[in-house]
């Protein structure tokens, strides 16, 4: 399996993990362990990447949500579908992250995950919001 496919599965696991955390209110190591207990050994391969990504989102959630809020005209975060919001959080986290992924890759990966886990209109919505965030971050970064 390619590295791209493995990373995508890791993003999908991070999305599911963040969704669980949001509804349970529990982001403890015990809650993370419980999440993985229900996964197959094959799915465990994505655990390090998925947990790192989920923890980064949780650690920077205020900053990430502020960027999403500014990029989503006429929408309040409370009105977003939970899967869309958590997927946007992952995308913004990757745009901010130390991995140095090009924005085009981050946006494309988020769109592909949205096609699998979100509503029909979500891929276009995710694309638009992440594109605006990427442009804002580019403008705020000195060349």
Contact 9, 46 (CB under 8 A): yes
- From 6, 13, 22, 135, select the one nearest 85 (Cα to Cα): 22
In the chain, where the domains are located? 3-140
What pLDDT does 3 receive? 67
* Phi-psi category of residue 22: left, alpha or beta, with phi > 0 → left and psi -120 to 50 → alpha: alpha
Burial of 23 per CB tally in 10 Å (0-12, 13-18, 19+): exposed
- What is the value of pTM for the model shown? 0.92
Q: Which fold has domain 3-140?
A: N-utilizing Substance Protein B Homolog; Chain A (1.10.940)
Q: Over its length of 143 residues, how does the chain's per-residue pLDDT go in tens digits?
A: 456 678 999 999 999 999 999 999 999 999 999 999 988 888 888 999 999 999 999 999 999 999 999 999 877 888 899 999 999 999 999 999 887 789 999 999 999 999 999 999 999 999 999 999 999 988 876 65
The DSSP symbol for 60 reads T
Token pair in block for residue 120: 């029909």
Task: Measure the CA–CA gap between 46 and 52, rounded to whole angstroms.
Answer: 10
């Amino acid at each position: 399996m390619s590295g791209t496919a493995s990373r995508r599965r890791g993003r999908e696991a991070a999305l599911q993990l963040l969704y669980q955390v949001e509804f349970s209110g529990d982001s403890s190591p015990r809650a993370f362990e419980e999440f993985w207990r229900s996964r197959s050994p094959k799915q465990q391969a994505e655990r390090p990447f998925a947990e790192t990504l989920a923890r980064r989102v949780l650690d920077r959630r205020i900053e990430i949500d502020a960027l999403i809020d500014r990029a989503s005209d006429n929408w309040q975060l409370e009105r977003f579908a939970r899967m869309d919001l958590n997927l946007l959080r992952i995308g913004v986290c990757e745009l901010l992250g130390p991995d140095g992924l090009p924005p085009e890759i981050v946006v494309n990966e988020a769109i592909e995950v949205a096609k699998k886990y979100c509503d029909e209109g979500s891929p276009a919505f995710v694309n638009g919001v992440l594109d605006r965030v990427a442009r804002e971050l580019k403008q705020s970064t000195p060349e």
